[in-house]
Amino acid sequence: MRWITFCLLVTAVLAAAGAAGAAAEGLTEDERGEINELTRDNLEAVQEEDMDAMLKTLHPHSPSYDDPGFAEELQAIFAQYGLPYELEIADIAKDMGEVRVEYRQFTRANDQEDLEGKEIRGVQFLLPHEGEWRIFAAEVIEVRPLDDVLSEPEEAEEHAEQPAKGLFYEVSGGENDLYLFGGLHFGREGVSLHDKVYQAFAESDVLGLELDMQSLFDAGDKLLRRGTFDGDTVMSDLVPADLFDKVVSALEIPGVGAEEIEELRPWYAANEIVTLANREANYDPAFGAESYFATLAEEEDMEIAGMETVADQLAPFTHLSQESQKIYLKDALAESRGELFIDAAFPQWQAGNADFFAAERRSALEKAETQSLQAFHEAMYDERDAAMAAQIEEWLNDDSGRTYFVVAGALHLAGENSIVDNLRDKGYRVSEVY
């Protein structure tokens, strides 16, 4: 569930609005997504000190796989350190059946006095195993104190706030010109976009958003009615007492107590928890892509059109069974207490890394624990994306002669069955602008 609130514009609107893997020659989009996911899974396993999960990312014939010395060394690292990592994939290349992944790993200093932040540059070598890529070997090329890295002008500039690329495409093959921009529903003040984004927006006549503006006016009432119980049922009837207590603690909002929280459906409470956590981490829906472009459009007196209604965005939640809602709620609580998805997604979005979002989307479907969660994810993405692609096709072929600039959540523009995938299947050319 980690990223659902990222893809639900109405939740974001009502709440207020690194480097990417280079294209790898000889690799399909699915393979690149799998490699990105494998690298992240390996890193997450180390962060979570999960030896079994880490071993699952290694090739069985890797020299380290059955090496007791390697296992002992890793356990010693687990016991001594508890540092958060950040990973940047600098390059992916395939040659003679082997994949080479160049990376930079950043370890930030924590409260332990004898530990300092470090930058590690290295290479992972991947080989296929039973139809999937696995890490066969890794080589550390260089280790430097992070303070030294950031003191260098070129490195300091690289780590400063850079103009964000987002996921940006030009769609052709219809009667009209159309740009397609993938954004995030939560953003940070002061983050600018790539010049090509502003140029395309200036050339456009119509701004297309996920939601039409009239729906936004109706959103509060509809969301509240869908997200609250309408009978004698309350949340504590559906979730264990300890889980309900955690929800109450997570939703520490002035004027909102246990009585008010009892009225919320678990999925609604889950979205509120992640939204609140995002805001506490300084990600604000007021600076999300839709709000940002809507403000620009209003300043230019530019027409704004929508692809969905509030009902369309909330429909996927009807698939969630009571058990699935509990899972959804537990995931939200876990995310709010640990690593927020937006912390990982934001730098990837800035770098324009579509592979990251494609892998996250695929992972959600693969890891769905119940049939209703599977149906939920399919409705949230596959079904909505097909419908939004159909609306975009209408804009491409109306007789207005106008240029459209369409903004949707980044997860809707990446991976199988996405808007981009749908448009390509319809015969349109969808080209990356950068």
Domain co-membership, 123 together with 243:
no
Structural domain harbouring 269 = 4-17+162-432
142 and 212 belong to one structural domain: no
Last residue of a domain, one of 108, 137, 159: 159
Do 103 and 244 belong to one domain? no
Residue 129: CATH number of its domain: 3.10.450.50
The answer to whether residues 369 and 340 belong to one domain is yes
Q: What is the CA radius of gyration of the chain?
A: 23
Has residue 90 been placed in a domain?
Answer: yes
- pLDDT of the residue at 2: 47
Question: Does position 19 have pLDDT exceeding 50, yes or no?
Answer: no
196 shares its domain with 312: yes
Task: Say if residue 259 is in the same domain as residue 299.
Answer: yes
Q: pLDDT over 90 for what percent of the chain? A: 48
Q: Quick one: DSSP state of residue 22?
A: P
Q: Is residue 24 part of a domain?
A: no
Same domain, 112 and 180: no
Number of folded domains that form the chain: 2
154 and 190 inside one domain: no
**Alpha-carbon separation of residue 80 from 56, 93, 112, 391 (angstroms):** 23, 34, 10, 55
> Which tens digit of pLDDT belongs to each residue from 215-243?
655 555 666 677 888 878 999 999 999 99
Nearest to 311 by CA among 407, 221, 230, 373: 221
Q: Are 235 and 262 in contact (CB under 8 A)?
A: yes
The verdict on 336 and 354 lying in the same domain is yes
Structural tokens at position 316: 């996927």
Question: Does residue 255 come out as left (phi exceeding 0), alpha (psi in the -120 to 50 range) or beta?
Answer: left
Q: Do 377 and 370 meet the contact criterion of CB atoms below 8 Å apart?
A: no
Do 242 and 292 share a domain, yes or no?
yes
- Chain mean position to CA 283: 13
Judge if 125 and 200 occupy the same domain: no
pLDDT for res 175: 97
Q: Which of 91, 125, 159 is the last residue of a domain?
A: 159
Residue 70 lies in a domain: yes
pLDDT tens track for 105-119: 776 555 444 456 677
| Domain annotation covers residue 350 | yes
The 10s digit of each residue's pLDDT in 32-62 is 888 888 887 887 787 777 888 888 899 888 8
